[in-house]
């Protein structure tokens, strides 16, 4: 929603700016000159914001096209390798989706000392703390583990599902 809204806001602002700049043409040379300058800025801004809107449009297009295709997606097809596109805003994401899109970067590689998914030895003492502690640390952060694994639009339940997914795969 936000990425839809903001470019339009920018455009509205810009258009207003432009209209203002145009209205003062007979206020003398300097003012007219300034108005031209602002007009140029506004025009450049308008161009920019139009392209931003066009981009947002395209992204939405792509998301729309991928959505139905994702339902009948076969392993090995391009759409199967694009979990990011599946993470749309409708309905909670599964633990696996959150993991692959948000936690994977650290927990698949061990970056920053993150326990790797599938590394039973690394996970055993963590799992022994109990699920609630793991949830608390995943949501609130712990040392190199950022709060919510940097997934700021994840709900607590989505984070818990991702923890469950990692725990299940690391025993």
**Smallest separation, CB 118 to ligand HEC (Å):** 14
Q: Name which of 23 and 133 has its Cβ closer to ligand HEC.
A: 133
Asked whether the CA dihedral 47, 60, 156, 98 is positive or negative, the reply is negative
Interface with ligand HEC (CB under 6 A): 98, 102-103, 105-107, 111-115, 126, 129, 133-134, 137-138, 142-146, 148-151, 159, 162-163
**Smallest separation, CB 133 to ligand HEC (Å):** 5
- 171/164 Cα distance (integer angstroms): 11
**Smallest separation, CB 84 to ligand HEC (Å):** 14
Pair 7, 53: CB distance under 8 Å: yes
Region of 22 (left: φ > 0; alpha: ψ -120 to 50; beta: rest) is alpha
Residue showing the smallest CB distance to ligand HEC in the complex? 149
DSSP string covering 22-90: HHTTTS-HHHHHHHHHHHHHHHHHHHHHHHHHHHHHHHHHHHHHHHHHHHTPPTTSGGGG-HHHH--SS
Q: Name which of 67 and 137 has its Cβ closer to ligand HEC.
A: 137
Q: Name which of 72 and 143 has its Cβ closer to ligand HEC.
A: 143
**Smallest separation, CB 76 to ligand HEC (Å):** 26
Q: Name which of 68 and 125 has its Cβ closer to ligand HEC.
A: 125
């Amino acid at each position: 929603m936000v990425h839809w809204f903001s470019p339009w806001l920018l455009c509205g602002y810009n258009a207003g700016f432009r209209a203002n700049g145009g209205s003062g043409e007979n206020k003398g040379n300097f003012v007219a000159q300034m108005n031209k300058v602002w007009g140029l800025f506004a025009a450049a801004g308008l161009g920019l914001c139009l392209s931003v809107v066009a981009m947002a449009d395209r992204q939405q297009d792509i998301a729309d096209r991928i959505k139905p295709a994702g339902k009948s997606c076969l392993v090995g097809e391009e759409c199967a390798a694009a979990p990011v596109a599946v993470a749309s805003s409708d309905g909670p994401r599964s633990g696996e989706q959150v993991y692959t899109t948000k936690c994977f970067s650290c927990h698949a590689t061990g970056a920053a000392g993150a326990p790797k998914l599938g590394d039973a030895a690394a996970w055993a003492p963590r799992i022994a703390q109990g699920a609630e502690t793991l949830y608390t640390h995943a949501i609130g952060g712990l040392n190199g583990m950022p709060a919510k694994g940097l997934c700021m639009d994840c709900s607590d339940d989505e984070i818990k599902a991702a923890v469950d997914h990692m725990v299940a795969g690391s025993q």
